[in-house]
């Protein structure tokens, strides 16, 4: 995962969102069992979030194209489910369809964070697979508080990384060089890393495969740089971690963990020493 700048909210957004929210509040007041949200409202803003994330999914870091991707509600709007810690309950992906079979969601609350359905700060851009096959209504928390009522979010500590919040992914994801390189692991037993991987299915086979080659390249360039002290490899390393590249976040994690130096320092150095 990579951190991005949250896109600027259009000036007329709050007024429009308030109209939508009022409709939900009317349904709540009428004790309507199933809330009906206006999906077309957030779809209108999808391109803004997609652009802010370089057309990459917030969770898996893969590029999406065309309609392939959704405005994802970080805190789920309609219900909340949980997923056990038994990997047998996490489901098996049917490649290449990316259907997931046997993922056992447990109901937790039939009320979700409905008041955040039209909240700019609760939106991000995610691929359909992370959003609709894996995460759905999951929202891992360190401290679960019931009932789910307006303002409860202020007391919660989420365990799902958000690319628009200032939690450093380097502290939460890593790889095992003795194992399949594309397989993500929580860094230092990070609970946030563990829950984010589990919630979004970040170790599904297609992602492991796609990551594997890039991670191999990163490790190769790092080794060449170290062994030969050849700075030309720094340019190759930087390319792998550019914001617009797939898996830039995990590339930066590996760089920082392997070198004990900051990615931002590498960028500063390259800015002072552009390629000849
Ligand atoms: Zn994704």
pLDDT in tens, 133-159: 999 999 999 999 999 999 999 999 999
Question: Is a pLDDT exceeding 90 seen at residue 274?
Answer: no
Distance between Cα 39 and ligand 1 center (Å): 20
The Cα–Cα gap between 123 and 46 comes to: 9
**76-124 pLDDT per residue, tens:** 999 999 999 999 999 998 876 678 999 999 999 999 999 999 999 999 9
Question: Is a pLDDT exceeding 60 seen at residue 66?
Answer: no
pTM: 0.95
Distance between Cα 276 and ligand 1 center (Å): 36
- Asked whether the CA dihedral 115, 119, 121, 123 is positive or negative, the reply is positive
Question: Is a pLDDT exceeding 80 seen at residue 46?
Answer: yes
The Cα–Cα gap between 4 and 13 comes to: 21
pLDDT at 94: 83
C-alpha distance from residue 156 to each of 111, 126, 144 (Å): 16, 22, 7
**199-215 pLDDT per residue, tens:** 999 999 999 999 999 99
**CB–CB of 135/161 below 8 Å?**
no
As residues whose CB is below 5 A from the ion ligand 1, the structure lists 57, 59-60, 127, 130
Distance between Cα 90 and ligand 1 center (Å): 16
pLDDT at 9: 98
């Amino acid at each position: 995962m990579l951190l991005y700048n949250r896109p600027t909210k259009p000036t007329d957004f709050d007024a429009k969102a308030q109209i939508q929210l009022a409709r939900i509040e009317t349904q709540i007041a009428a004790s309507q069992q199933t809330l009906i949200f206006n999906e077309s409202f957030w779809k209108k803003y999808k391109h803004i979030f997609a652009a802010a994330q370089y057309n990459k999914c917030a969770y898996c870091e893969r590029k999406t194209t065309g309609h392939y991707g959704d405005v994802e509600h970080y805190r789920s709007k309609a219900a909340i489910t949980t997923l056990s810690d038994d990997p047998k309950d996490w489901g098996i992906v049917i490649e290449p369809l990316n259907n997931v079979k046997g993922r056992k969601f447990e109901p937790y609350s039939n009320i979700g964070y409905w008041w955040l359905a039209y909240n700019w700060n609760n939106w991000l851009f995610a691929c359909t697979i992370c959003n609709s096959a894996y995460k759905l209504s999951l929202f891992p928390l360190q401290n679960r508080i019931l009932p789910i009522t307006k303002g409860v979010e202020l007391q919660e500590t989420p365990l799902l990384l958000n690319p628009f919040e200032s939690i450093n992914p380097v502290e939460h994801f890593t790889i095992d060089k003795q194992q399949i390189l594309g397989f993500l692991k929580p860094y230092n037993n990070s609970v946030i890393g563990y829950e984010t991987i589990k919630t979004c299915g970040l170790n599904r086979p297609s992602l492991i495969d796609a990551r594997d080659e890039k991670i191999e390249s990163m490790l190769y360039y790092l080794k060449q740089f170290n062994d030969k002290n050849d700075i030309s490899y720094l340019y190759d390393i930087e390319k792998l971690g550019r914001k617009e590249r797939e898996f830039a976040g995990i590339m930066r994690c590996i760089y920082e963990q392997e070198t004990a130096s900051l990615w931002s320092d590498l960028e500063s150095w390259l800015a002072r020493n552009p390629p000849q």
